[in-house]
């Protein structure tokens, strides 16, 4: 059911510093910072030949990644995002398999203006999984 790896998201405390690590030290193609107030994060996308890295920095006081950074003060891998052809069909199949879809199961519009859902890490090998409609 899942298709391509769309991106790996890394939570960071300082997105400017993290961008420089990817731009200068790793020699990658790094986007400008984009604020996503509806999601409580600032984002940067790093384009690699086969996938992307999404840097996430907390934005605002109730950012969904604030707790993660409390537990992981150096930052760390926050989620992986897989593409699916039909996000509602994927949701229904996963629920039928007993997997937990976060929130009320209604897809939200994600950072790429496409519908996304998140799946409970306890059902997926300890990893928060984002599904994005391809
Ligand atoms: Co993501």
Contact (CB, 8 A) for 51 and 3: no
Q: How far is the CA of 25 from the centre of ligand 1 (A)?
A: 23
Instruction: Give the residue numbers annotated as catalytic, written as ranges.
Output: 130
Query: What domains can you pick out in the chain, each with its CATH number?
Result: 2-133 (3.10.180.10)
Write phi, then psi, for 90 (nearest 5 degrees).
-65, -45
**Using 50, 70 and 90 to split pLDDT, how confident is the model at 61?**
confident
Which residues, listed in sequence order, are joined to residue 45 by a DSSP beta bridge? 54
Q: How far is the CA of 131 from the centre of ligand 1 (A)?
A: 9
**Using 50, 70 and 90 to split pLDDT, how confident is the model at 13?**
very high
Q: How far is the CA of 24 from the centre of ligand 1 (A)?
A: 23
Instruction: Tell me the mean pLDDT in the region 85-92.
Output: 98
Instruction: Tell me the mean pLDDT in the region 80-100.
Output: 98
């Amino acid at each position: 059911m899942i298709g391509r790896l769309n991106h790996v998201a890394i939570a960071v405390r300082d997105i400017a510093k993290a961008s420089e690590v990817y731009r200068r030290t790793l020699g990658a193609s790094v986007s400008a910072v984009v604020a996503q107030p509806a999601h409580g994060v600032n984002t940067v996308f790093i384009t690699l030949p086969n996938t992307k890295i999404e840097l996430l920095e907390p934005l605002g006081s109730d950012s969904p990644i604030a707790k993660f950074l409390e537990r992981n003060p150096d930052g760390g891998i926050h989620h992986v995002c897989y593409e699916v052809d039909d996000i509602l069909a994927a949701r229904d199949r996963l629920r039928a398999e007993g997997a937990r879809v976060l929130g009320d199961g209604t897809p939200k519009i994600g950072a790429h203006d496409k519908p996304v859902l998140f799946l409970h890490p306890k059902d997926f090998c300890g990893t928060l999984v984002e599904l994005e409609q391809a």
